[in-house]
């Protein structure tokens, strides 16, 4: 199987207003990005999708290796040569026992969007991080630039996450899944 034509959609819209003496000005905003992704290995293309969700114990972490370790929904090993899109969501409860819930820390082992020493991003409960490089992707290489680590920064509560990555599979003999992604 291969990725069929899919769309990556990000949309943010709403209304802002304020009240002053004798008036209430209003402004609308609407920003939508729609990117068509077709099956293949070139620009605006991908041929493999991996997604996962899970819980991370207090102060624990999970590492996702995109080359020859994790498997797709058909139990075929991923062997990604390029990462084109990543979305990570912190699905932890907003509050746990009255305290702020888990903030997750995301690091990569040399993958393009986080490559420096001690570079990471944090994602609070109920929040998400999405980035893409659909034209050329971020090159992956086994052992040196192919892992994503999601760590729970809370020492007393679990964290929950969802992740989806799309990229180019080095080994065409493996299957990949069709997908449609919408973020807002």
Of residues 73, 52, 72, the one with CA closest to residue 63:
52
| pLDDT of 168 | 92
Instruction: Let me know if residue 166 belongs to a domain.
Output: yes
| pLDDT of 95 | 61
pLDDT over 50 (residue 181): no
- The answer to whether residues 69 and 52 touch, using CB atoms and an 8 Å cutoff, is no
| pLDDT of 10 | 79
DSSP character string of 132-180: E-TTT-EE-BTTTB-EEEEEE--SSS-EEEEEEEEEEES-TTS------
Of residues 121, 124, 62, the one with CA closest to residue 92:
124
Query: What is the pTM for the complete model shown?
Result: 0.78
Domains in the chain, number: 1
Instruction: Let me know if residue 22 belongs to a domain.
Output: no
Q: What is the Cα–Cα distance from 119 to 139, expressed in whole angstroms?
A: 18
Instruction: Let me know if residue 12 belongs to a domain.
Output: no
pLDDT over 70 (residue 131): yes
Instruction: Let me know if residue 8 belongs to a domain.
Output: no
pLDDT over 80 (residue 172): no
pLDDT over 70 (residue 171): no
Instruction: Let me know if residue 19 belongs to a domain.
Output: no
Residues 69-87: tens digit of each pLDDT:
888 777 888 899 999 999 9
Instruction: Let me know if residue 180 belongs to a domain.
Output: no
Q: What is the mean pLDDT of residues 114-138?
A: 86
Q: What is the Cα–Cα distance from 147 to 108, expressed in whole angstroms?
A: 6
Segment holding 126, helix H or strand E: none
pLDDT over 50 (residue 182): no
Q: What is the mean pLDDT of residues 31-53?
A: 89
Instruction: Let me know if residue 92 belongs to a domain.
Output: yes
Instruction: Let me know if residue 72 belongs to a domain.
Output: yes
| pLDDT of 97 | 52
Q: What is the mean pLDDT of residues 98-126?
A: 78
Which residue segment(s) compose the domain that 98 sits in? Answer: 40-171
Rg over alpha carbons for the chain, rounded to the nearest Å, is 19
CATH code for position 71:
2.60.120.10
Q: Are strands 159-169 and 67-71 parallel, antiparallel or unpaired?
A: unpaired
């Amino acid at each position: 199987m291969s990725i069929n034509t899919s769309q990556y959609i990000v949309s943010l819209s709403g209304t802002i207003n304020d009240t002053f003496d004798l008036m209430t000005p209003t402004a609308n905003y609407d920003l939508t990005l729609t990117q068509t992704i077709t099956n293949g290995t070139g620009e605006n293309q991908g041929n493999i999708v991996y997604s996962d969700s899970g819980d991370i114990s207090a102060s624990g972490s999970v590492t996702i290796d995109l080359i020859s370790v994790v498997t797709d929904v058909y139990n075929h090993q991923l062997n990604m040569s390029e990462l084109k899109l990543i979305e990570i969501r912190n699905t932890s409860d907003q509050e746990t026992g009255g305290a702020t819930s888990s903030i997750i820390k995301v690091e990569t082992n040399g993958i393009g969007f986080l490559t420096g020493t001690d570079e990471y991003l944090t994602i609070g409960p109920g929040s998400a991080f999405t980035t893409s490089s659909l034209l050329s992707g971020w090159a992956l290489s086994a052992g040196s630039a192919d892992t994503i680590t999601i760590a729970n920064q809370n020492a007393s509560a679990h964290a929950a996450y969802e992740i989806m990555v799309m990229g180019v599979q080095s080994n065409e003999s493996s299957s990949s899944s069709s997908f449609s992604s919408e973020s807002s």
